[in-house]
Amino acid sequence: MLEAHDLAGRRGHAELFAGVGFRLAPGEAIVVTGPNGTGKTTLLRMLAGLSAPAAGEIRLNGKSIAPFSPELRSSVAYAGHLPALKDELTAEENLTSLVHLAGAKATEPSLRAALDAVALGRKRTLPARVLSAGQRRRIGLARLAVLRRPVWVLDEPVTALDSAGVDLLARLVHEHLDRGGVAVLATHQSLGLEPGRVQSLVLGG
């Protein structure tokens, strides 16, 4: 479903990586690891469609795609380093806003259920400013869960999550793969995914 061919990434004059390629069929995931500064974020941003690769090609469902292409924008759910939350909005308002931004119609009960599912039910009317880093991350997880996009690109998703949060993330990824989605994760933490459906990509090696 998602393929990368011969990708090269550059920052300024320095070449970060070259010749990166992989192929993900529905239900498969790839975990990207490597030391700091080897371009994991750069690679994930390319796959999310935010920046153009210095070389190589990305294909979604067989079709070659460019940054910001409409297919990418409706198929990919990207979670970067920053949780994309507005301090002044409540947890519920943030989730609603992000879900609407993604072009989805969401009913209030379904969003409340999502927040309940990530254990933020009682905190949903609190402004994001007063939530802990882990709680803010969990709003992002709720967003991933409700949007049901086929492609997940997650950059360091376990940041700030406690062990319950990591379990939740692992469960969400499992369910996502079971539904036939694909996932690209940059993380050092094992999420307990079955070896058969996970590929590994090491940068800077």
Partner 1 sequence: MTMAATVPAVVEAASGADQDGALAGLRWAVTRDLRLAMRSRAELGVQLLFYVIVVALFPLSMTPERNLLATMGPGVLWVAALLASLLSLPRLFASDHADGTLEQIALSPYPLEALIAGKVLAHWLTTGLPVALLAPLLALQYYLDGESVAILVAGLLLGTPILSLLGAVGAALTLGLRGGGGSLLALLILPLYVPVLIFGAGAVDSVRAGLGATANLSLLGAGLALALVGTPFAAAAAVRIALD
The site for partner 1 (CB under 8 A) is made up of 48-52, 67-68, 70, 72-74, 76, 78, 80-89, 93, 97-107, 110-111, 113-114, 116-119, 142, 145-148, 164, 167-168, 171-172, 175
User: What is the number of alpha carbons within 13 Å of residue 38 lying toward its C-beta?
Assistant: 14
Nearest-angstrom CA–CA distance, 72 and 46: 11
C-alpha triplet 125, 128, 146: angle, nearest 5°:
75
CA dihedral sign, ordered 180, 67, 65, 99? positive
Between 31 and 153, whose beta carbon lies closer to partner 1?
153
SS3 state at 12: coil
What amino acid occupies position 172? L
Task: Tell me how far apart the alpha carbons of residues 117 and 95 are, in angstroms, rounded to a whole number.
Answer: 13
Q: Which is nearer to partner 1, 18 or 119 (CB)?
A: 119
Closest by CA to 55, choosing from 29, 21, 89, 92, is: 21
Q: Smallest Cα–Cα separation from 152: which of 189, 178, 118?
A: 178
